[in-house]
Amino acid sequence: MTGHPQHYAPWLGGAHARLRALLGQLHPWLAEFIIFGFKQAWACLFGGAMLGLLIVSKLIWQPGWPVARYDALLVGAILIQMAMLALKLESREEAKVIFLFHVVGTAMEVFKTAMGSWSYPEESLLRIGGVPLFTGFMYACVGSYMARVIRLFDMRFVHYPPFAVTVALACAIYINFFSHHYITDLRYPLFVAVFLVFWRTRIYFTVDRVPRWMPLLLAAFLTSFFLWIAENIGTLSGTWLYPNQKGAGWRPVTFQKMGAWYLLLVISFVLVTIVHRPERRGQSFA
């Protein structure tokens, strides 16, 4: 799988060049670390904007205002998506896949809130059952990040498993998110399956000039950790709440949710490969 930086707005390449020039006097490792942080933050643009909306809206919103906070978040999310397309920060092909994230996430949200896994405590007009419509964009943020980070770092995947195998694994994970409410929870066998399928897969990426690599399983773990942090921000803002966060005051989201995010990232990754189809290669770039 390879990234395609040329699809980005032309001015992004200029920003990278200016940043590289500013960091020219620093030690190469430190300069590369700063560029890495800059690119990661840029890849998180959609997610960062959404978290900003959650925080700001929580701080300023008043109960008597004519528009519900959740409905305003939906409008804000749509405007962010339109701006990213207009500024060519996302391609139309990626936007279609991100829409799939929206659909897949909303379907799971409707089921999970009905089962009492979490809830949205505020009122809103635009909702399906107990789920405000803006929530699908929270899943779309994950898709946006993954599509953008692949291109920004020109990622390539070595020893990538057959596409059909990854699709079957993603489907099994998605089904388990629903079925574990009725039958045995298979998340631990699924963790084993993820390891067996991806344990040889390496991500080769370029921060600045030198290609580097990381095991895909480690990258998924680190990403799930930062998603766990984002979820804590979301619940701290009161946007959604787990049962143990009601009544007695806010509590951090349990580390168990990191496992759920880890499995959800497999689904997310497979959806992104619809646009960035992986190249099966046995050799490294050494």
For residue 233, being part of any structural domain is answered with yes
With 50 as the cut, is the pLDDT of residue 284 above it? no
With 50 as the cut, is the pLDDT of residue 103 above it? yes
Phi, psi (deg, nearest 5) at residue 236: -65, -30
Structure tokens, 55: 């925080």
For residue 285, being part of any structural domain is answered with no
Residue-level pLDDT at 92: 80
With 90 as the cut, is the pLDDT of residue 165 above it? yes
For residue 281, being part of any structural domain is answered with no
With 60 as the cut, is the pLDDT of residue 7 above it? no
Kindly give the residue spans of alpha helices, DSSP state H, lying in the chain.
10-22, 28-43, 45-60, 69-86, 92-114, 135-152, 163-179, 187-198, 216-236, 256-272
For residue 280, being part of any structural domain is answered with no
For residue 17, being part of any structural domain is answered with yes
Measured CA angle at 41 (ends 40, 46), to 5 deg: 110
pLDDT in tens, 191-206: 999 999 999 999 999 9
For residue 38, being part of any structural domain is answered with yes
With 90 as the cut, is the pLDDT of residue 100 above it? no
Number of domains in the chain: 1
Confidence of residue 243 (pLDDT cuts 50, 70, 90): confident
d(CA 126, CA 119): 15
- Domain range holding 114? 5-272
pLDDT in tens, 29-61: 888 888 898 889 989 999 999 999 999 999 999
For residue 111, being part of any structural domain is answered with yes
For residue 142, being part of any structural domain is answered with yes
Buried b (16+ CB within 10 A) or exposed e, 131-153: bbbbbbbbbbbbbbbbbbbbbbb
Structure tokens, 232: 């804590």
The pTM assigned to this predicted structure is 0.84
